[in-house]
Amino acid sequence: MGLIRNAMRQGTKAVELGVSKLLADPEVTHNSDPQVVDVVIVGGGPAGIAAALECANRNLTYVVLEQFSLGGSVAHYPRRKLVFTEQIKLPIVGKFGKAEMLKEELIAEFERVCLAGGITLQEGRRVTGVSGKRGDFAVSCVNGEGGEEVYRGRTVVLAIGRRGTPRQLGCPGEEQSHVVYRLIDAEQYRHRRVLCVGGGDSSVEAAVSLGATAGTEVHLSYRGESFYRVKKKNRAELEAAVARGEVRLHLETTVQRISADEVVLGRKDGTSLTLGIDDVIVNIGGVLPTPFLESMGIEVETKYGEGIEDESRPRSGRKKRTKRTKRVSGALARTRARSRSTRLPPSTRLRRRRSSKSLPELDSAPLESQP
């Protein structure tokens, strides 16, 4: 898994191939106002940090706006979470990263890189919109005190990630303060009853971490019948935690209602289960930032695996291939751009799911729900 590496590579390429090309256009650089920087970078995660390094490497003026703190979503990983990445060579600082790093080590690396590259983030700046035209964009944001600020740039790099905002359950009671969407420190839940919701790595890791905390009663609810999406290592740790009685599983269940000290789960057979719960941690993915992009005039278009001709072959021997990539065409060059995202047809997705579940490490010792 090289997600950190890929994000940093994309941030570098955005400046190397996109921004540098735009700044060579006199129409973009005509504005000599010293208050207008060459690049406004939205996002202080891996991609934003790498984009800032490339700007510094090219002697471009820039500002980095981050909604929370250095590292972006990485800063919200659970304490001592193991992050799988790969080494990458970055501008100015050289080699970065290794195969496995703890969250704290990764944040420390980000700090080292920023210090070496002279990068300063404007933290606590939540960007609310981008307006303007080529060569003079206005990026509006709200600071940590609720005040409004505007940063102007000749170009804008959006390094906001693909996760967007956390996906919600959509059930009554979810708005209560004891319902959160990430686990940062398991110690704060010591001697409490916690329900983790979700079937991915984040939810499984949270449940295992909480289960290892003395005095914590942990339940894990997932709507699926098995954890086919999680890493082999995480599944093994979950199996061990369940065997030790540290985590109680509730498979094929969904959250129906949350109250101050109870959660009602709905079972597949139509019955329900009421649990005594003090805290709920929801990890069911994120909602793509489509409204935010569309508010800037970026048109998001979804393609469902439609075939296109391979122009590199003679017409007689051409075969149709399926688009499987996501593209944003000219997003830096103009405020109205197209993003083409694709996904496999439902039949293909189902086949992939069945083949994944057939792997020995996923189903050799099926996990079962506990009462």
DSSP labels, 109-138: HHHHHHHHHT--EEET-EEEEEEEETTEEE
Q: Are residues 131 and 26 in the same domain?
A: yes
**Can you give the residue range of the structural domain that contains 188?**
166-286
How many domains does one find in the chain? 3
Q: Are residues 343 and 275 in the same domain?
A: no
Q: Are residues 14 and 150 in the same domain?
A: yes
Q: What is the pLDDT along the chain (371 residues), one digit of tens a residue?
A: 478 999 999 999 999 999 988 888 887 877 778 889 999 999 999 999 999 999 999 999 999 999 888 988 788 777 777 787 788 999 999 999 888 888 899 999 999 999 999 999 999 999 999 999 888 999 999 998 889 999 999 999 999 876 667 889 999 999 998 999 989 889 999 999 999 999 999 999 999 999 999 999 999 999 999 998 899 999 999 999 999 999 999 999 999 999 999 999 999 999 999 999 999 999 998 888 888 888 888 887 776 665 555 555 555 554 554 444 444 433 333 333 333 333 333 333 333 343 334 333 333 345 666 66
Task: State the sign of the Cα–Cα–Cα–Cα dihedral 206, 211, 213, 218.
Answer: positive
For residues 190 and 151, give the distance between their C-alpha atoms in angstroms, rounded to a whole number: 43
CB 159, CB 45: distance < 8 Å:
yes
Whether 360 is covered by a domain: the verdict is no
The pLDDT score that the predictor gives to residue 342 is: 34
The pLDDT score that the predictor gives to residue 330 is: 39
Q: Are residues 249 and 177 in the same domain?
A: yes
Whether 18 is covered by a domain: the verdict is yes
Whether 52 is covered by a domain: the verdict is yes
The pLDDT score that the predictor gives to residue 313 is: 53
Whether 53 is covered by a domain: the verdict is yes
Pairing of the two strands 193-197 and 217-222: parallel
Q: Are residues 188 and 277 in the same domain?
A: yes
The pLDDT score that the predictor gives to residue 74 is: 84
Choosing from 161, 187, 205, the residue where a domain stops is 161
Give the 3-state secondary structure of residue 7.
Answer: helix
Query: Tokens 């506990």 appear where?
Result: 370
For residues 41 and 48, give the distance between their C-alpha atoms in angstroms, rounded to a whole number: 6
Residue type, 342: T
For residues 26 and 22, give the distance between their C-alpha atoms in angstroms, rounded to a whole number: 9
The pLDDT score that the predictor gives to residue 80 is: 76
Whether 366 is covered by a domain: the verdict is no
Q: Are residues 102 and 176 in the same domain?
A: no
Pairing of the two strands 338-342 and 299-303: parallel
Q: Are residues 152 and 214 in the same domain?
A: no
Model confidence over 10-34: pLDDT tens digits?
A: 999 999 999 988 888 887 877 778 8
Q: How many CB atoms lie within 10 A of CB 194?
A: 23
Phi then psi dihedrals of residue 141, to 5 deg:
-150, 165
Q: Are residues 58 and 153 in the same domain?
A: yes
For residues 112 and 49, give the distance between their C-alpha atoms in angstroms, rounded to a whole number: 11
Whether 78 is covered by a domain: the verdict is yes
Q: Are residues 22 and 153 in the same domain?
A: yes
For residues 266 and 255, give the distance between their C-alpha atoms in angstroms, rounded to a whole number: 6
The pLDDT score that the predictor gives to residue 163 is: 64
Whether 361 is covered by a domain: the verdict is no
Whether 358 is covered by a domain: the verdict is no
Choosing from 112, 137, 161, the residue where a domain stops is 161
Q: Are residues 273 and 246 in the same domain?
A: yes
Q: Are residues 140 and 277 in the same domain?
A: no
CB 53, CB 109: distance < 8 Å:
no
Phi-psi region of 315 (alpha: psi -120 to 50; beta: other; left: phi over 0): alpha
| CATH value at residue 176 | 3.50.50.60
Q: How many CB atoms lie within 10 A of CB 302?
A: 11
CB 275, CB 196: distance < 8 Å:
no
Choosing from 161, 189, 219, the residue where a domain stops is 161
